Amino acid sequence: MCLELATGKKIWMRDVLADFDLTKPGSDIPNWFFGIGCTPVLEEGLVIALVGGQPNSGVVAFDADTGKTVWEAVGKETWDGAPTDTGEAFEWSAEEQIVSYSSPIVATIHGRRHLLCLLRHGLVSLDPRTGRENFKYWFRSRVYESVNAARPLVIGDKVFLTAAYDVGSALLKVKPDGKSFEEVWRNRRNLLAHWSTPIHVDGFIYGFSGRHEQEGLFRCLELATGEVVWEFSGYAGDFDDLRLDPLTQKFSDAKTGESMPWPFYGRGAKIRAGDLFIVLGERGTLSLVKVNPKKFEEISRTSYEALEYPPHIWTAPVLSRKRLYLRAENALVCLDVSPAIADGP
């Protein structure tokens, strides 16, 4: 949907479920499955989204002014017969899903614009103007009920990928021709990001790893090798100092009874602000963490009643104009994070 920003007036709308055969029997998105979860991108007058249509409409470009379809790409023609991680060629079926939670990204590599889309079967690089394929890379879990959700990271001429469900991560180096690449390394255990896209800083990758909450770890990887430099669950104390209420699932100080933030991050989310990460754990714990490739270094943490579990909090913080926005399923918290002024109000 396209809306006029000032008034909210609808300019155009497309029903992708109806327009791309997603509601018919045996179609791409059964009602009980994960569905569509990407954020569209805008590139030179095109709105590009991963709609997951059959048989070759995994990625669709719409005219930004009118909403009309400009091109469709990715599906059976992309993956039927493609090599997999087992060494065998993939055989397409009518029940294949092309959906993705991962948002596409457009980047310039070796002077060429690449539309990089991490769909259910793997990464595809397309020409954003035409939808023509540059290259593809199989990156899929062998677990049927799984998704690729973290966005690809573009670092110079390299592309970093990660996913949960025993997929792990990989680093690809795009060659100058823009049509081929080499796999720098592939590791199934170092970082398994469920949905929160990692952040690259000066040769290191920082991200949350783990399919389930109890597996959640904040990890730092060396980009060149993929090796784990450090990891942290969010808890650094002694369990004897804590008391957990089994009914409310809240922690408090065992001696004082004072309530405290949930001590584990789980599968958290984060953003970078200068030399700090603003981290939001999935049970509402908010932390400031130093960007430090040598060790985990937390500055402070807190929590807010409006963000208390349940439900889980999976949305990354947003920082804009000295305001920090934290969103839960049924609440929005806005914090003033401007520096204190000694002589001011």
| Predicted local confidence at residue 79, as pLDDT | 95
Least confident of 85-89, 160-164, 203-207: 85-89
In a domain, 120, yes or no: yes
Least confident of 18-22, 131-135, 232-236, 311-315: 18-22
Q: In Å, how far from its chain's centre is CA 243?
A: 33
pLDDT above 70: percentage of residues in the chain: 94
Q: What's the rounded Cα separation, in Å, for the pair 195 and 148?
A: 8
Write out the residue range of the structural domain in which residue 8 sits: 2-188
CA angle, 97 then 101 then 103, to 5°:
120
* Best CA proximity match to 56, nearest among 70, 36, 76, 38: 76
In a domain, 323, yes or no: no
In a domain, 284, yes or no: no
Express each pLDDT in 127-168 by its tens digit: 999 999 999 999 999 888 888 999 999 999 999 999 999 999
* Best CA proximity match to 302, nearest among 315, 314, 288: 288
Averaged pLDDT score across all residues of the chain:
91
Express each pLDDT in 30-39 by its tens digit: 555 666 788 9
At 100, is the pLDDT very low, low, confident or very high (cuts 50, 70, 90)? confident
In a domain, 159, yes or no: yes
The model's pTM:
0.92
In a domain, 239, yes or no: no
Express each pLDDT in 235-287 by its tens digit: 977 777 888 888 888 888 888 888 889 999 999 999 999 999 999 999 999 99
Give the up-direction half-sphere exposure of residue 75: CA atoms within 13 A in the CB hemisphere: 24
| Predicted local confidence at residue 28, as pLDDT | 47
Q: What's the rounded mean pLDDT across residues 158-184?
A: 97
pLDDT above 90: percentage of residues in the chain: 74
Q: What is the token pair recorded at 340?
A: 């204190």
| Predicted local confidence at residue 47, as pLDDT | 98
In a domain, 238, yes or no: no
Q: What's the rounded Cα separation, in Å, for the pair 321 and 25?
A: 48
| Predicted local confidence at residue 238, as pLDDT | 72
In a domain, 282, yes or no: no
| Predicted local confidence at residue 37, as pLDDT | 81
* C-alpha to C-alpha distances, 21 to 29, 58, 69, 95, 117, nearest whole angstrom: 9, 11, 14, 12, 21
| Predicted local confidence at residue 302, as pLDDT | 93
Report how many domains make up the chain.
1
In a domain, 48, yes or no: yes
Token look-up 């990464």 returns 123
* Best CA proximity match to 309, nearest among 282, 344, 269, 340: 282
Strand partners for 165 = none
At 78, is the pLDDT very low, low, confident or very high (cuts 50, 70, 90)? very high
CATH number at residue 15: 2.130.10.10
